[in-house]
Amino acid sequence: MRDGDWKLIEFFEDNHVELYNLKEDPQESQDLASRLPEKSESLRVKLLRWREEVNAQLPTPNPDYQPE
Q: Do the beta carbons of residue 17 and residue 44 sit within 8 Å?
A: yes
What pLDDT does residue 58 have? 87
What pLDDT does residue 32 have? 98
What pLDDT does residue 26 have? 97
Domain boundaries, the chain: 2-54
Arch. (CATH architecture) of 2-54: 2-Layer Sandwich (3.30)
Edge to edge, what strands does the sheet with 6-10 contain? 2-3, 6-10, 17-21
pLDDT tens, N- to C-terminus, the chain (68 residues)? 999 999 999 998 888 999 999 999 999 999 999 999 999 999 999 999 999 999 999 888 888 988 88
**SS3 of residue 53 by DSSP:** helix
What pLDDT does residue 11 have? 92
Alpha-carbon separation of residue 42 from 11, 31, 48, 67 (angstroms): 16, 16, 10, 36
What pLDDT does residue 25 have? 98
